Amino acid sequence: TPRLPHAHLRPTRWRAPRQANNDTVRVQSIQQAVTEDDLEYTDLRHISEAMIDTGADVSVISQRLVETHNIPFNVTKGTLLLAGDNNKVNRIGTTHPLLIHYNYKTIYHAFEIMNLPDQIDLYLGMDLIPTLGIYIGGLAVQWSDQITSVKEKAVDDHPPEPNDSPAGTQEEQKTFHTTLQSYVKANQSIPTTSFCPLDISIVTLPTTNTPSDKVNYRQYPIPHKLFPVVDQAVQTWLADGTIVRAPVNTSWNSPITLAPKKDEFGQATGKRPCLDPRHINKFIPDDNYPLPLIRDIFQKLAGSTVFTTLDLKSAFHRFLIHPDDQHKTTFTHNGRQYMFQGCPFGLKPLSAKFQRVMHFIFDDMPYGHTFVDDVIIHSANMTDHMKHVTKAIQKLTAANLILNPKKCHFAQKSVYLLGFCITAKGTYLDKRKLSNIQAWPTPQTGHDIQKFLGIVNYFREHIPNLDLPT
């Protein structure tokens, strides 16, 4: 392998790792290996094994590897403090920044050089482990003389599979589903043209526009191959009573847009037509009804062993827009104007309105919690759970909120909820969401950075040392 040119090693936007105030860094014992198949750096692909060292402040490269491949480095004075009392070695130096590819990430990094055993090429320390997205559970994070008397929680190496881990015995599951069948059937018999009968569910749109404000916007161009998708959506909305013909003298018009439809793994599967309500929202005051904190919901699940998540079908369409405001949702399709009776997704007051109604419906059910249209029922045992889920479905049926049984998950040991996996032993990250984050494109603008930090902040309680880079 030829000597690497300095111009290749020094990208213009690269910034050197932050150095400690003194010349001493700490390198602790080896914790766990990472396979060589995923690791490479700047034309040096002969790595036999790289070890993860969660107690090391810096990442280390073998002196043998540096000499073999003529890797340029800077001589550095000082000492390295190893695990154990007064165990020091003199520093050799640090490499010039090397290009690292790992798990779809590409970064530059300068390694500390040490005399390592022949079979070891690299130690990955805490200056690289979080950056590369490597997370390990159940490892020691303190020196032996720093360990307190607090007992660390046991790590479950084989948690139940979310949404596919039936709770109780086979007989209890059979009894549960047999009992539930009539209540689900009654719910499914709700006419799709019906609306929630609760007065607090009626959506008003008290717009503040003036006669000079523009409220009429032309339809966006729609790709020809997607015309059938829009046609089908409009016909479904008409059949369900979600939309009706608009009056001929309406001054409002908003475009239909096509939002990406994604599966449970976040992969795009098609397009979903929906109203673009931005031109309406800018004239509507905020509804400040508070949404629950997700961590508060999780805390209330403590002590439960059985979980059910309920999915609502076209839930927002069940909320009637006040007749005086329906014309404000007008859109044009095939030369005809329609307006929404049932509330379309995206209107500013909708999330707060829906949460208010769900809190009202589940007010006397401490075992049922909602975050907008996400519903979870939890219980300590199967007997109680059958009663709890039955009552929850009855409540939803009385409010004309229709379940989507194919997306409901009944009486499980573990379920997915709001980007997390719920079990009797606590919560952990939904791996499907982590895959989406790992494939997140590199931010190019300030708005891109805001979006990325938003998703990172959502999972901040499960990301170690998050305060360091942010």
Long-range CB contact pairs, 33-39, < 8 A, 24+: 34/124, 34/134, 38/102, 38/103, 39/100, 39/101, 39/102, 39/122
Q: Contact 313/384 with Cβ under 8 angstroms?
A: no
In this structure, what token pair is assigned to residue 12? 């213009």
- Amino acid 249 reads N
Q: How many CA atoms lie within 13 A of 405 on its CB side?
A: 12
**The two domains 24-132 and 170-439 share their CATH topology (first three levels equal):** no
> Which are the contacts of 286, defined by CB distance < 8 A and separation ≥ 6?
348, 349
84: enclosing H helix or E strand: none
Name every residue whose Cβ is closer than 8 Å to that of residue 323 and which is 6 or more positions away in sequence: none
Q: Domain 170-439: give its CATH code.
A: 3.30.70.270
Helix (H) or strand (E) holding 231, with range, is helix 227-239
For the chain, the domains span: 24-132, 170-439, 440-469
Which DSSP string corresponds to 441-468? PPP-SHHHHHHHHHHHHHTGGGSTTTTT
CATH for 24-132, among 1.20.1300.10, 2.60.120.330, 2.40.70.10, 1.10.3720.10? Answer: 2.40.70.10
Per-residue pLDDT of the chain (470 residues; tens, 9 = 90+): 333 333 233 332 323 333 334 443 333 333 333 333 443 344 444 454 678 887 788 899 999 888 888 889 999 888 888 766 567 888 999 998 887 777 667 778 889 999 888 778 888 888 888 787 777 665 555 555 555 444 445 555 578 899 999 999 999 999 999 999 999 999 999 999 999 999 999 999 999 999 999 999 999 999 999 999 999 999 999 999 999 999 988 999 999 999 888 776 667 788 999 999 999 999 999 998 999 998 899 999 999 999 999 999 999 999 999 999 999 999 999 999 999 999 998 999 899 999 999 999 999 999 999 999 999 999 999 999 999 999 999 999 999 999 999 999 999 999 999 888 999 988 887 777 666 666 778 888 988 888 888 877 777 776 666 666 65
Q: Tally Cβ neighbours within 10 Å of residue 410.
A: 23
Q: Give phi and psi for 13, each to the nearest 5.
A: -100, 5
Stretch (H or E) spanning 352: helix 350-361
